[in-house]
Structure 1
Amino acid sequence: MKLHCKPVAAAIRAALVTGTFAVLAAPVMAQEDAARLDRVEVTGSRIKKAEIEGQTPVSVITREQLEKTGLTSVADIVQQLTGSGSSLNTKFNSSGNFGFPSDGSGVGAGSATVDLRHLSSRRVLVLVDGIRWVNESSASGVSSSVDLNTIPVAIIERIEVLEDGASSIYGSDAIAGVVNIITRRTFEGTQASVYYGEYEEGGDTKSGEISFGGAGDNFSFFLSASSTEQDGIDSNRVEQAAFPVPGTGVALGSSFTPNGRFIFVDPNTGIEQDITTPNGQFFPGGPSYPGDFIGFTGANRFNFAEFNLLQTPSERKSVFGQARFYFDNGVSWYVRTLYNQRESLNRAAPEPISLGPGSGNSYADNALISASNPFNPFGFDLISSGPGANLIFIGRRPVEGGPRRFFQDVDTWYFATGLEGAFELGDRSFIWDLNYARSKNEADQTNFGSYNIRRIALALGPIENCNADPNCVPLDIFSGPGSITPEMLAYIQPIVRDRSENNLQLFSANLTGDLFELPAGPLSFAAGYEHRVQDGFYLPDALTVAGEYNGVPSLPTFGKYDVDEYFAEFNIPVYANEGSQLDLSAAARYSDYSTSGGDTTGKFGFRWQFGDQFVFRGSIAEGFRAPSIGELFGSAARNDIDIDDPCLIGIDGSQPTANCSAFGVPTGATQTNSQISVTTGGNPNLLPETSDSYSLGFVFSPEFGTNSAWSEKFDIEFTYYNHELEGAIQAVDAQTQLDLCVANGVSSPFCQGITRASTGVIDSFNNRLQNFGQIETDGYDLDFFWTLPETDLGQLKVSWQNTIVNDYRAVDDLGTPQPQAVGFEVNDSGIPEWTSNLSLDWSYGDFTAGWRLRHISDLEETCGRATQFSVCPDPVNNRNHIGSTSYHDLQLGWRAPWFDGTQLTLGVNNVTSKLPPICLSCSLNGYDASNYDLPAGRFVYARAEVKF
């Protein structure tokens, strides 16, 4: 296989090889009075040495800080970091509405991920105790992201977040950074806690946990069990979420209505009809044509939003344990194991039945509604394709079958074991470890409320075909809500079951210590080897595989790969005196993938300390991310995306923006459905995406702010970051591709994969993954930490953390800019220019209090389909301003004298009951669920914790 070797990696590749074998094969130089290395491993370096801390910008969330958030999900906590981007959480209710994203990951309710620097959760590596965690399976795909809801808060000692490229240290996926979750190891006694929280609009969360641990002369252990239950909140509880687009009523609702929408050419008159029956009216004997039918208008559209969920219900249960045994020779053996179960639900409006060209299914595309069907009111055949074709579109929402409900049952298993020890070679101390881990994430999804499109077509077709099937019941979609009887439903409504699984198995060996003494100090190193095997599959229901599923079609996915990796890292002291010290760091990793071959990445860094007050640091790092199982092997599936077709009359009545006769679009053709089906799926020809990351910054702890009258400790941290990705694995933005196709004509390369039916509607749209082009982003972190001196009134601590995104730019292979940019909301995801967290924490004896301000700067978006409505403030430029938003959180705590460490906590998040700004382009619930709190009012919570 081809070896990819980049400049920085090439420069230090010799160091990787010679440094590793020098340690293993040759004795080191003796030094008198050599001190034993401290066993401190900091995220961002494999060298276990206390002096390494501070070389890279790492944010640490302590257990105390975790509890002060009032949140029960790791993802919800990490997503509030200022450097976090848009990622999935339990405020998304998406499984049944959109289908399959292009990366093959699927979408499952109850899952929650983390994004750093707005580079996607796929480019963040999640570790637990320094070891890679298994990726999620959503029951609808094979993901390359970690579901943080598989890791209970109860077992966490702290979370370390490195927002810097770290592929040379940890391997693939660490392009945007690393989240390292450190579990609780040393614990004496028993701790139990209960938690209850609730929004003003409902959706309560209940949690309980019990932990205990102990230690003897040669062992220690920690055990924990926890349960968290989160109730759902209906979208119709909140005004801005109760309609498809806030401020437009049902005018931008769905064409798929309980009364049906029927567009066809009457063969008797040659006139095109676009008709329905009056809203909510049921015709027991069937409607008469044309007398009982009326013209379809915006007032007849269906409000699907009220069936959705603002917050998806879920229940998580977890058991975790770890033990460590110490032997006389200095070797220790550890064992860690976890089982986590999640049961979750999301819900969508009753599944629509679409018939006619461009419906996205061969049975629907070629439907024949026969005149012999006893419920056909028109007296003639409605034919979708072939000779005599006259059917353009039928949309019927069978409310009789109830809403779609997607139940997920997700199990995560994790086992890890290993040996750690130290040895002397000459007068040098070296630390080694051997690790083995095996983990599995498996998910089952059961879908109620969907339909069998083959049986629908049979039940609508010629009566003799239906009679040939003894189970077939002729179907009535014409007589209004209530026309589909239980017998009809029993024939066309199945239960759909899907499964998916992700497995990870790894072995690693590491060695760290001092090689020899330099004038400025010892040259330290770490070196190691890791072998990983990753496999996964997605198996949709047999009905789906057969092409009979009326919902979003997909095919199975199976894949496996293995990787061998070797790395070396060095810390090189260059200069040191009483007032200054300069250290350089270098690292390289070689990774050999069974799917994409070899790749070498390197990293250079420096840390220059001036006295006790100032540290200047920076790094240059190469990164890469190998394509995942879903991205490589994901089979063809469908994703229904909100796209405005510039060739068609909009559903809001807006006229086409282009003359598309060259594309075969007839004059007056209408876009009946705002969601256009695009074909997604993996690409076996994908190459690894590569990156260059740069960081430069300082830590300033001024002497005048240390142990002075006004300050006990005062720190300022500043970091500039820049990430540049080449060959990013991504799909082209579908709206952008369609707009450029229309603008540049039929021969445009942007039109490849886009075809239209004779009616003018798009009937195929290929939107598969590719090595995309370039993504570049840069910005600044500026943080202040101030601890005031303790007085008779207690002690106050202040922290103010800020991220400013200077630029975000993505272009495809042809150099075409994609729509995502700083200050803009696109596809339910916005990149604020400035995010800020300001916290004040006060303590006085047994009492504590805290106030936190979370700020998100303003954004802009297109008004989308709402351009014609007054809710769009700038219809001329098609722009809506999403104002800046600030949330205030309060918390009070009291350490009671009972037992030894009883803690009572009461808190309120979003004290002012701030509603998120209205988003007109967002797909569900009228706001961006990745950036803002739920529009459900204040969240009040209480926690009681007892230790004994």
Structure 2
Amino acid sequence: MYTSNRRSIVLMVFGWLCLAGMPCSTVLADQQEDALPDSLFLLPVLEAEAIVVTGTAVRESPIELPYAVARIDRASLAEQGSPSMVDLFKNLSASSGVIGEANSWYNAQSGDIPETVANINLRGLGASRSLVLLNGRRQTYVPGRLVGGRFVDVNAFPSISIERMDILKEGAGAVYGSDAIAGVANFITRGSFEGFELDVSYDYFDAGGDAMLGGIWGGKVGDSNLVISLEHKRRGNLRAEERDWALRPFPNYGWGWSWYGNPGAFIIPDGLQTDESILAGEPRFVDPGCTGLGGYQVGASTCRFRYQPWDSIIEKLQHTRGFAELNGSFGETDYHLEALYHDARVPEWETTPSFPPIAFYDGVQQVRADHPGRVAFVEQNPTYTNSDGVTLDLTGDQPWYFFGRLVGNAGPGRVQSRESRTRRLAGSLTGPIGESSLSYDLGISYSDTKGTVRQPAEYAYRKFLAFRGFGGPNCGVGVVPDPSAPSGLALGPIPSGVTPGTGNCSYFNPFSNGIQFSAQPDAPYTDSANPNYRADLAHSAELIDWINERVATTSEASLLSMEAILNGVIKEGVASYATGYQLRRVDVSAVPNAPGDLSQNPCRIPGDRSCAIQTGSFTFTSGIHPYEANQTTHAVFAELALKPSDWLDSQAALHFEDYGFANSLDPKISLRAQVSDFLALRGTVQTTFRTPSVDDLNTDVVIYTDYVGPTGAWKAIENRGVEDLEPEEALTYNLGVIIENDTGFEVTVDYWNFDFNNPIGVIPHSALAAAYVDPSTRAAVQDRIYCPGNRNDGSCAPGDMERIRINHINWPGLKTSGIDWHIGGRHVVGSGAVDAHLDGSYTLDYTIEPLMHNGVEIVAENEAVGFLNLTNPLAPPLPPLRLNATVGYHWSDYSAIARTHYISSYENGDYWFDTGPSGEDWTQIDPFLTFDMNFQWRIPDTGAVATLSLFNLTGAAPPYVNQELAFDALTHDPKGRRIKLGVTYSFR
């Protein structure tokens, strides 16, 4: 295989170290601080003297170990103003693609990612490739099924219970296992805390804010130490209309303006034409109420709708977190028990008043000649000259087709709720074995999470009825399947005496003469009434509620991890070792509510199973198939720490994992050489391995919506896993230089490199769409492009695509490399001390090899670094350069710390997002520079510390990005200038 030769080389070197007379063994780095008290080499993530990356309190350097580790402790976090996990990891130079703000459309799967979660994504290789530990042991993943793999929600950990975070910034699969391919983040709690501490803070920013109240108590319970912490955090809603950079006008800014609105446009077919491919080219006109109600008229084609006012930059959130741990001993055995609980809620998740239908020409939104809204319009306009100068005779009897959405500028938005809970129990026993140098570590952890996400949806059959005057729950008229109709629907029997629009039967009116006011900010008819409004033509809010449905999915995930480790010392001061076994079992499941259950309701009529296209009962939103899956991993490992001389440290590790369907043996070698008193060199090389996840192998279809450039609209994307995926493999290595003098000045520079084979991703639908546009490549992809009428024969124009079928695949390869650096030191000045640090990361390359499909290259070799990568399934946004600079002065009971954060410019890199509607060039995404100030007062004789933080002092807006909310939510901070006051009160 790809890495077999390289793996053999690393194994030979590993064997040479073993043959030097030392048993081959490994220290699993998933263990407690004091697990190896006699070991020469303490664990790199848990015990290393760590590189300072963000604050003066974290100035110890890991020169005794050849690992690039960042340590962030409570003092450092306090000096930064105790940032949220989202802010912390967005500023971490080694992390890219962090969710937690405006992420409801993350990975085009809004039904799976609530805004309460946050992640760490080391090197931008995908959050699922970064291992997250709590006290050295694994934590379960988020419950939602995701393209690209699930990740651990770091927002589940109470901030008041965290003593420090250690981040191993290099591949660690050979030490930790396959889920540490990009690195490790380990959260260590305050297990030895005694006393009581209260922490309260409020973070204010214009039109929003965060409030947090937390407490921690620790004390003796017999011979044991019990620590209990609890915190509650609330975040206010920041709506898009509260930021002038978010609500953009048309035509200069296209994103956030849908092609499909209400008011909309009407297609006037020639006679009784119903062929969908012909209807798209038939004459049409735009509702004359378009501009007055806040839309933007595009010739005779459509009335664009700005949906941004119903999206939020930051959602209203509520977090309640609790953590408890008990530490003690009996005899020579130490024990540790811990429990965690996290409740997260999005109580008012708002989205657009309606979604556009995927298919516009199927006859669901047909307006017949006797429709009251049409009758009234024709009375005023028997002929109508559209914007193309074509005069249309509107007095005919042929049905019109409404080209728009159910509700647009009239509002209101639709509000749903989302919630999740996370639980964890873990424990360990550690102690010596007799009088020998051997010791053991037995550990077990179980964690699970459960979440429910809700999406609004619109029934196709109820729209069908309402457009024909038979809307409402008590009308008495239903629908029946009609495979010969483009919509697949036909009216059912009409009871005697029932007529359209009378009694309990209602019309939906798509014309602007039924809309009195606009809810669109600053529209002409927002404060003054639409002069063409007629109350008798307005449909009721109850009718819209009847058409709408709530699709809910409750997902669960759990992780059971058990491990046994034997460690010991071969020769004091020369060699130590460890060896062990680990069992991991992941279980996942999802259960939709009845309306969203595709196993019960795969067709447009609930309960019907006869349709050819089984995408559910709705015109935009889709449900899911319920599923259950699990995956079990057995691992054995060994590690040797060897100090053959005073100037050379070495470490060798072997890790074998077996998943049943795949296995791998991966070695790692690390060296550190102290060349002189002030200069040291370090390096690591390893192979690593990652199997397909339970979601990658799940062949049940998932249907979501995403923007498809040639259509100018969001369309259905049908995705599924593949059972015969190959595992990912990679060779990774790091080379570093450490310079340090006696005054505390230090410089570290590390070069890192990842070389992947078979990375798991999906076929990008954007590439399939682009290949379909090109006549020379259409035949190779047409089987995956579905046209109106469920045809995948290449017969429709690119603009008429309705659905694209993709699946998980192994990409050919991916290579990325870069440089990290840290420069810093402390100097006594007057009665205090000055700390100064400069940390940064520069990504040199992120090269993705070309992708072939049916013998045709659909994705050329491309460089992802320096690009937004919105349509790239293997890369998040990757600005090449990130910098953090800190200068602090500490004296007496005071500290003043200034910080600067810099993210370099990058590019959109995709035609559909580079260019504005009027030809504007939005290729470049500007750099983002912010300045922070933090002041600390350690109030004498009170146990209180007050911190005043001023973030983004200049009020810099995030750089404009030509997409949804006008900024890159995975990279930039949208909150603007902030003022935060925090007070910590300790009773010891």
TM (normalized to structure 2)? 0.79
For residue 423 of structure 1, report the CA deviation from its aligned partner: 2.8
Question: Which residue number corresponds to residue 826 of structure 2?
Answer: 787
Larger mean CA deviation between 206-215 and 744-753 belongs to 744-753
Larger mean CA deviation between 150-159 and 342-351 belongs to 342-351
In the alignment, which of 926, 930, 952 is matched to residue 887 of structure 1?
A: 930
Instruction: Answer yes or no: is 1:177 the counterpart of 2:170.
Output: no
Question: Which residue number corresponds to residue 939 of structure 1?
Answer: 978
Question: Which residue number corresponds to residue 641 of structure 2?
Answer: 571
Q: Spell out the pairing of 1:602-641 with structure 2 (5 A cutoff).
A: 602-633=667-698, 635-641=700-706
Paired with 2:345 and 2:732, the residues of 1 have a C-alpha distance of 39
- Partner amino acid, structure 2, of 1:408: R
For residue 296 of structure 1, report the CA deviation from its aligned partner: 5.3
Instruction: Answer yes or no: is 1:817 the counterpart of 2:857.
Output: no
Question: Which residue number corresponds to residue 728 of structure 1?
Answer: 759
Instruction: Answer yes or no: is 1:278 the counterpart of 2:288.
Output: yes
In the alignment, which of 172, 184, 198 is matched to residue 166 of structure 1?
A: 172
For residue 222 of structure 1, report the CA deviation from its aligned partner: 1.2
Paired with 1:491 and 1:569, the residues of 2 have a C-alpha distance of 63
For residue 278 of structure 1, report the CA deviation from its aligned partner: 2.0
Q: Residue 460 and residue 15 in structure 1: after superposition, are their counterparts in 2 closer, same or farther (change >3 A)?
A: farther
For residue 819 of structure 1, report the CA deviation from its aligned partner: 5.2
SS, match of residue 154 in structure 1: helix
Larger mean CA deviation between 739-748 and 889-898 belongs to 739-748
Question: Which residue number corresponds to residue 241 of structure 1?
Answer: 246
SS, match of residue 546 in structure 2: helix
Paired with 2:981 and 2:860, the residues of 1 have a C-alpha distance of 48
SS, match of residue 309 in structure 2: helix
SS, match of residue 774 in structure 2: helix
Question: Which residue number corresponds to residue 463 of structure 2?
Answer: 456
Instruction: Answer yes or no: is 1:438 the counterpart of 2:446.
Output: yes
Paired with 1:541 and 1:145, the residues of 2 have a C-alpha distance of 25
- Partner amino acid, structure 1, of 2:589: F
For residue 179 of structure 1, report the CA deviation from its aligned partner: 0.6
For residue 38 of structure 1, report the CA deviation from its aligned partner: 5.6
Paired with 2:355 and 2:914, the residues of 1 have a C-alpha distance of 26
Q: Residue 43 and residue 748 in structure 1: after superposition, are their counterparts in 2 closer, same or farther (change >3 A)?
A: farther
- Partner amino acid, structure 2, of 1:568: A
Q: Spell out the pairing of 1:75-114 with structure 2 (5 A cutoff).
A: 75-94=86-105, 99-100=108-109, 106-114=112-120
User: Over the residues paired in the alignment, what is the CA RMSD in angstroms?
Assistant: 3.7
Paired with 2:359 and 2:367, the residues of 1 have a C-alpha distance of 10
Q: Residue 746 and residue 797 in structure 1: after superposition, are their counterparts in 2 closer, same or farther (change >3 A)?
A: closer
Q: Spell out the pairing of 1:528-677 with structure 2 (5 A cutoff).
A: 528-545=580-597, 546=601, 547-556=616-625, 557-576=627-646, 581-594=647-660, 596-633=661-698, 635-645=700-710, 671=711, 673-677=712-716
SS, match of residue 679 in structure 1: strand
Paired with 1:867 and 1:942, the residues of 2 have a C-alpha distance of 40
SS, match of residue 809 in structure 1: strand
Answer yes or no: is the 8 Å Cα contact 1:307–1:349 preserved in 2. Answer: yes
Q: Residue 544 and residue 422 in structure 1: after superposition, are their counterparts in 2 closer, same or farther (change >3 A)?
A: same
Paired with 1:835 and 1:353, the residues of 2 have a C-alpha distance of 39
- Partner amino acid, structure 2, of 1:145: F
In the alignment, which of 304, 307, 319 is matched to residue 307 of structure 2?
A: 304
SS, match of residue 67 in structure 1: helix
For residue 803 of structure 1, report the CA deviation from its aligned partner: 0.6
Instruction: Answer yes or no: is 1:856 the counterpart of 2:859.
Output: no
For residue 397 of structure 1, report the CA deviation from its aligned partner: 2.9
For residue 41 of structure 1, report the CA deviation from its aligned partner: 4.5
Question: Which residue number corresponds to residue 826 of structure 1?
Answer: 869
For residue 355 of structure 1, report the CA deviation from its aligned partner: 6.5
Answer yes or no: is the 8 Å Cα contact 1:323–1:334 preserved in 2. Answer: yes
For residue 462 of structure 1, report the CA deviation from its aligned partner: 8.7
In the alignment, which of 320, 343, 351 is matched to residue 323 of structure 2?
A: 320
Larger mean CA deviation between 723-732 and 393-402 belongs to 393-402
Larger mean CA deviation between 227-236 and 723-732 belongs to 723-732
Answer yes or no: is the 8 Å Cα contact 1:16–1:569 preserved in 2. Answer: no
For residue 266 of structure 1, report the CA deviation from its aligned partner: 2.9
For residue 690 of structure 1, report the CA deviation from its aligned partner: 1.3
Q: Residue 398 and residue 792 in structure 1: after superposition, are their counterparts in 2 closer, same or farther (change >3 A)?
A: closer
Paired with 1:905 and 1:46, the residues of 2 have a C-alpha distance of 29
Q: Spell out the pairing of 1:206-355 with structure 2 (5 A cutoff).
A: 206-215=211-220, 218-243=223-248, 248=252, 253-263=257-267, 265-267=269-271, 272-279=282-289, 297=300, 300-328=303-331, 330-344=332-346, 345-354=348-357
Paired with 2:154 and 2:319, the residues of 1 have a C-alpha distance of 12
Q: CA offsets per residue over residues 783-839 of structure 1, 9 Å max, x none?
A: 1021112x3341111111011111111124437436552222231843122110000
Q: Residue 425 and residue 853 in structure 1: after superposition, are their counterparts in 2 closer, same or farther (change >3 A)?
A: same
Instruction: Answer yes or no: is 1:765 the counterpart of 2:804.
Output: yes
Question: Which residue number corresponds to residue 486 of structure 2?
Answer: none
Question: Which residue number corresponds to residue 527 of structure 2?
Answer: none
SS, match of residue 548 in structure 1: coil
For residue 425 of structure 1, report the CA deviation from its aligned partner: 5.4
Answer yes or no: is the 8 Å Cα contact 2:459–2:547 preserved in 1. Answer: yes
In the alignment, which of 411, 435, 438 is matched to residue 421 of structure 2?
A: 411
Q: CA offsets per residue over residues 146-194 of structure 1, 9 Å max, x none?
A: 1111112111111111111111111122111111111111112110010
Paired with 1:71 and 1:818, the residues of 2 have a C-alpha distance of 42
In the alignment, which of 54, 63, 69 is matched to residue 80 of structure 2?
A: 69
For residue 264 of structure 1, report the CA deviation from its aligned partner: 5.1
Question: Which residue number corresponds to residue 29 of structure 2?
Answer: none
Paired with 1:8 and 1:737, the residues of 2 have a C-alpha distance of 40
Q: CA offsets per residue over residues 523-581 of structure 1, 9 Å max, x none?
A: 221211110110111222321221113432142332111111101111222333xxxx2
Paired with 2:504 and 2:676, the residues of 1 have a C-alpha distance of 85
Instruction: Answer yes or no: is 1:491 the counterpart of 2:546.
Output: yes
For residue 931 of structure 1, report the CA deviation from its aligned partner: 1.6
User: Tell me, which stretches of 5 or more residues in structure 2 are unaligned?
Assistant: 26-35, 51-60, 274-278, 379-397, 471-476, 478-490, 516-537, 602-615, 789-794
- Percent identical pairs in the alignment equals 21
Q: Residue 720 and residue 604 in structure 1: after superposition, are their counterparts in 2 closer, same or farther (change >3 A)?
A: same
Paired with 2:20 and 2:208, the residues of 1 have a C-alpha distance of 57
Paired with 1:418 and 1:16, the residues of 2 have a C-alpha distance of 31
Q: Residue 698 and residue 141 in structure 1: after superposition, are their counterparts in 2 closer, same or farther (change >3 A)?
A: closer
Q: CA offsets per residue over residues 10-47 of structure 1, 9 Å max, x none?
A: 548979999999799xxxxxxxxxx9716985345899
For residue 73 of structure 1, report the CA deviation from its aligned partner: 2.5
For residue 589 of structure 1, report the CA deviation from its aligned partner: 0.9
Answer yes or no: is the 8 Å Cα contact 1:37–1:48 preserved in 2. Answer: no
Paired with 1:862 and 1:298, the residues of 2 have a C-alpha distance of 28
- Partner amino acid, structure 1, of 2:839: Q
Instruction: Answer yes or no: is 1:198 the counterpart of 2:204.
Output: yes
Answer yes or no: is the 8 Å Cα contact 2:141–2:151 preserved in 1. Answer: yes
Paired with 1:143 and 1:114, the residues of 2 have a C-alpha distance of 13
SS, match of residue 260 in structure 2: coil
Q: Residue 640 and residue 296 in structure 1: after superposition, are their counterparts in 2 closer, same or farther (change >3 A)?
A: farther
SS, match of residue 645 in structure 2: strand
In the alignment, which of 556, 567, 572 is matched to residue 512 of structure 1?
A: 567
User: Tell me, which stretches of 5 or more residues in structure 1 are unaligned?
Assistant: 25-34, 284-293, 359-363, 380-387, 646-670, 707-711
Q: CA offsets per residue over residues 668-704 of structure 1, 9 Å max, x none?
A: xxx4x432332223222222211111100121113xx
Paired with 1:19 and 1:889, the residues of 2 have a C-alpha distance of 53
Question: Which residue number corresponds to residue 805 of structure 1?
Answer: 843
SS, match of residue 433 in structure 2: strand
Paired with 1:142 and 1:544, the residues of 2 have a C-alpha distance of 23
TM (normalized to structure 1)? 0.82
- Partner amino acid, structure 2, of 1:100: Q
Larger mean CA deviation between 369-378 and 334-343 belongs to 369-378
Q: Aligned pair count?
A: 852
Answer yes or no: is the 8 Å Cα contact 2:316–2:349 preserved in 1. Answer: yes
Q: CA offsets per residue over residues 271-303 of structure 1, 9 Å max, x none?
A: 8122232236999xxxxxxxxxx9855883111
Paired with 2:216 and 2:645, the residues of 1 have a C-alpha distance of 47
Q: Residue 821 and residue 868 in structure 1: after superposition, are their counterparts in 2 closer, same or farther (change >3 A)?
A: closer
Q: Residue 172 and residue 630 in structure 1: after superposition, are their counterparts in 2 closer, same or farther (change >3 A)?
A: same
Question: Which residue number corresponds to residue 912 of structure 1?
Answer: 954
SS, match of residue 802 in structure 2: strand
Paired with 1:198 and 1:241, the residues of 2 have a C-alpha distance of 19
